[in-house]
Amino acid sequence: MTPPTMLQSAPVAEFQVRKPDTTIKMSSEADNASIQFADWDNFQFAPIRESTVSRAMTRRYFADLDKYTESDVVIVGAGSAGLSAAYVLAKNRPELKIAIIEALVSPGGGCWLGGQLFSAMVLRKPAHLFLDELEIAYDDEGDYVVVKHAALFMSTLLSRVLQFPNVKLFNATAVEDLITRRDEVSGQLRIAGVVTNWTLVALNHDTQSCMDPNTINCNVVLSTTGHDGPFGAFSAKRLEELGKAPKDVTRGFRNDPSPAQPTADGFQLGGMRGLDMNKAEDAIVKGTREVVPGLVIAGMELAEVDGSNRMGPTFGAMALSGVKAAEAVLNAFDARKKQNETGGIPEAPFIDKVENVVKNPEQDFDNTIKAFQDRLQQYKYMEASKRQQLNDLNTKIPDIEKNLDIINYMKEKKNDLEEDDDEEDKTIITNYELNDTLYTKATIDVENLNSVYLWLGADVMLEYPLDEAVELLNERLRKNTEQLKLVKEDLEFLKENITTMEVNTARLYNWDVERRKKANATQN
């Protein structure tokens, strides 16, 4: 690359290139004002060209962007809860790719200082166990501990997290939206990644137009955006706009820590309540959970979701909410992975660089693109099969429920007859279905009814006592309902893989077109 031309009116200062003096001592036993850590008169940095610095930064940053555009876990917010979760995740699962997105230039959230901008940090026990894990010194005051400066906690935690090779922090980067998938049958929302932009751009959409974002796909998003600032409780607020998440504003005041189930009633923020340290910290840790498939919320953002109290200048819940969040993330990640594996559906590989797949274009390209097209057709065949399975289950389940209702109704009539021996209750006159459009009158002798005949499939019908028939039908209903859920999840997974393979195939084709154009241009 040709260096740019430099125009100037003054002569360039002389620059002597010589071997730098790199001897620097960080300690000295000298005294009497004779301490010297280095020969500063002869000291000089190693020479470098400005463009070298630019290339070093740019190359590495864009390599990270390329690597983490498909992540396993994305953590939104690098405060105490998010970084605590990142530490536990990275330590326990070094194979996971973990991207941390922080809107501010400086990570750490509100944990650089204690309350009212004071220095010391207070953590209630047993949060001191996390400090022990990080080897952070503290003063033990009985029921609580005090770290001499909050920055000691945050700087240590941040340093430990950034040392993990499977973690990348993208600071000065804001999450503008969530990537969503919606089940076509149930309408259930699932989070599949985040939409990002430079923070300065995100804050200035009102002043400029057409500043489109970037995206990161992942299996699980952990949102720990706190409750203050322009991006506070971002994911929770976005869910409220999307209108599909569990409404559960009493969680902070309940003893039952079981997770609420997503409903179609719409998500509503509970709104953070007044300060109560004892209620708040327990509620935040216990409430940390996956609020909708693919999205875990922890830390003070959860107070906005559940309507729990704020805790003020005590930080134990932030650390331990991060620990529990890591647990929830891993369970959600493993459940999705297991679901994909048990469904027998191989995950489509995402091609970052075609050159890594096609080593020899003349020999490998045709076979590679054929293999990808074959895989795409296999996915579409599996999708058609799953849709047929879905239709069958949607027919079976109502039939089972209808049979259960009929048998339970006859059991109730029989019990009523045994109690009052009413002649009118001894028989039931009903319409009997001969086929889809033909019915006839039928009389059921309730008094002597002790069993029913059930179709078991393949033209097999067996007689069952009433109680056994109910038990059998309930079991079949349970299994078919579970199977219905798995089929829906498999269809969603197949849709993602079909999209991935279509993108891969298009990328291969476009790459080959560009390669041939360059080859022809070289020949001409």
Residues flagged as binding site for substrate: 81, 102-103, 110, 175, 212, 227, 300, 310-312
Cite the DSSP H helix spans in 203-250: 234-242
Helix ranges restricted to H, 45-127: 50-68, 80-92
Distance CA 36, CA 28 (A): 7
Q: Residue 141 is which amino acid?
A: E
Q: What is the 3-state secondary structure (H, E, C) of 353-400?
A: CHHHCCCCHHHHHHHHHHHHHHHHHHHHHHHHHHHHHHHHHHHHHHHH
CA distances from 246 to 178, 240, 256, 285 (A): 17, 10, 15, 18
270 burial level (CB within 10 Å; 0-12, 13-18, 19+): buried
Query: CA-CA distance, 378 to 373, in Å (whole number)?
Result: 9
* Contact between 415 and 509 (Cβ < 8 Å): no
Coil, helix or strand for 154? helix
- Report the C-alpha gap between 374 and 238 in whole angstroms: 39
Q: Which two tokens stand for residue 62?
A: 């864009």
Instruction: Determine the distance from the C-alpha atom of residue 200 to the mean position of all C-alpha atoms in its chain, rounded to a whole number.
Output: 25
Give which of 79, 73, 71 is closest to 302, Cα–Cα: 79
- What is each CA distance from 195 to 178, 179, 216, in whole angstroms? 6, 7, 7
Name the nearest CA neighbour of 308 among 283, 289, 277: 283
Contacts of 327 (CB under 8 A, 6+ apart): 88
- CA-based nearest residue to 450, from 418, 401, 411, 419: 411
H helices of 93-169, where? 128-134, 150-163
Residue ranges with strand state E in 160-288: 167-170, 173-182, 189-198, 214-217, 220-223, 273-275
DSSP label of 21:
B
Collapsing DSSP states into helix, strand and coil, what is residue 114? coil
Write out the binding residues: 81, 102-103, 110, 175, 212, 227, 300, 310-312
- Alpha carbon distance 147, 311 (integer Å): 18
Distance, in Å, from the CA atom of 22 to the CA atom of 45, rounded to the nearest integer, reads 8
Spatial distance between the Cα atoms of 480 and 474, rounded to a whole number of angstroms: 10
